[in-house]
Amino acid sequence: MAPSSSKGYGYLYQYTNCRILRDGKIFREDLWVRDGRIMNPEVLFFVERVNADQRIDCGNLIIAPGLIDVQINGGYGYDFSTESQVEEGIKKVSQAVLSRGVTSFCPTVITSAPHAYKQILPKIKKRNGSKEGAGILGVHVEGPFIERERRGAHPSQLIRDYDKGFKDVLEVYGDLSNVAMVTLAPEKQKTPEVIQEFCKRGIVVSVGHSNANLIQGEEAVRSGARFITHLFNAMLPFHHRDPHLVGLLTSDQLPQNRKVFYGLISDGIHTHPAALRIAHRVHPEGIVLVTDAIQATFLPDGTYPFGEQTIVVKGKHSYLKDTNTLAGSLASLDDCVRLFAKETGCGPELALQAASLHPAQMLGIADKKGTLDFHSDADFIMLDDELNVKATFIAGECVYRA
């Protein structure tokens, strides 16, 4: 607990000798934090007339919003789609990702059996971050309402349709109170009504693992979908006569107030650097960097379970056993930020925003997360000029230091 101030206000920290990322620019300015929030110095100086209780020299580091990973399947030996591992896995992964600058994330559950969802989803509760680990923003349920031909590493026998509409969704998932977002294939029958029902419940809908054409994708967005799961992967490729879901980045058939966000796995394996550059140049404000990290992340080469299947890890690659199908990533989010900045030349500002501000905007929480705006949560990281994480803070408390 922070010490109390003798001035009648909460204890006030002033971070000096730093460069902060705000409004898409990095500039030299002090950061003021009190009671877990970013403070406006003008109010402190001219209204409250107070000085900092403690000044902290940041050694010329960059201060940026904490990173947010909206697609992470597990890591460090734990798989969120395995019923027996969920609670222990959340505890381990949420603590481990602090060193990678992640202050909030969406644990991702891949295509599973209904009984598994009913066991797993209630155990992944939304919570604020702390020194115990990064915050949980809600579950990202990826499947089972996807296309078999584009299933990737998802088990084919568990993929479902919603013949009865949203009733099928409820029968499969059970309680949706811990769900923040869902990935589905928009070409399935009754998709518009299913998307609308998700949106009524405040759940973000993403399109992916799909054979959809552009028209079907546009209909899904008009119905309320706002995200594309790992662009270029597990979907029909861009074609000049039908650009398919990739075409949503430039579609002129969407509501004017609807921004489409899209996930990118910039691990150097899932998405070629040229494809990263294309996406960046076409629709930079929609980029959301994700890891799609799996249980074997940061583990040695070998064979590991993945849901109900088996994967083989060799170096930086993970495949379904006896196939050449990629099975998630072995990257961390700070790795993805550095590689994206390097390969696209976008600069540290956009690369960092793509893993903080943009996912917060997509989830509708940018008033609190993903930004260093005044009154937002003091979830931030300190980085050197090579974007290596040197310290992580949640609600103004240092939870990791290199």
* Cβ–Cβ < 8 Å for 57, 33: no
**CA 358, 177, 183: angle at the middle one, nearest 5?**
50
Q: Environment class of residue 371 by beta-carbon count within 10 Å: exposed (0-12), middle (13-18) or buried (19+)?
A: buried
Query: Residues 172, 144: contact at Cβ < 8 Å?
Result: yes
Q: Which of 53, 267, 292, 379 is catalytic?
A: 292
Which is it for strands 287-289 and 302-306: parallel, antiparallel or unpaired?
unpaired
Residue 233 labelled as part of a binding site: yes
**Residues 273 and 342 sit within 8 Å (Cβ to Cβ):** no
Asked if residue 270 belongs to a known ligand binding site, the reply is: yes
- CB distance 170 to 207 below 8 Å: no
Query: Which tokens in the block code for residue 25?
Result: 């620019």
Tokens 């959340």 identify what position? 90
Compute the distance between CA of residue 124 and CA of residue 106 in angstroms, rounded to an integer.
10
What 3-state class would DSSP assign to 286? helix
Residue with tokens 């088996």: 310
Please tell me whether 142 is known to bind a ligand.
yes
Helix (H) or strand (E) holding 319: strand 317-320
Q: Is 234 annotated as a binding residue?
A: yes
Q: Annotation-wise, does 326 bind a ligand?
A: yes
Helix-helix angle 191-200:214-223, to 10 degrees: 30
Closest by CA position to 38, among listed 352, 398, 369, 351: 369
Residue 197 assigned ligand-binding role: no
* Dist CA 70 CA 181 (whole Å): 9
**292 has catalytic annotation:** yes
Does the annotation list 327 as a binding residue?
Answer: yes
Catalytic site residues? Answer: 292
Annotated binding-site members for Zn(2+): 142, 209, 230
Annotated binding-site members for substrate: 153, 233-234, 241, 270, 326-328
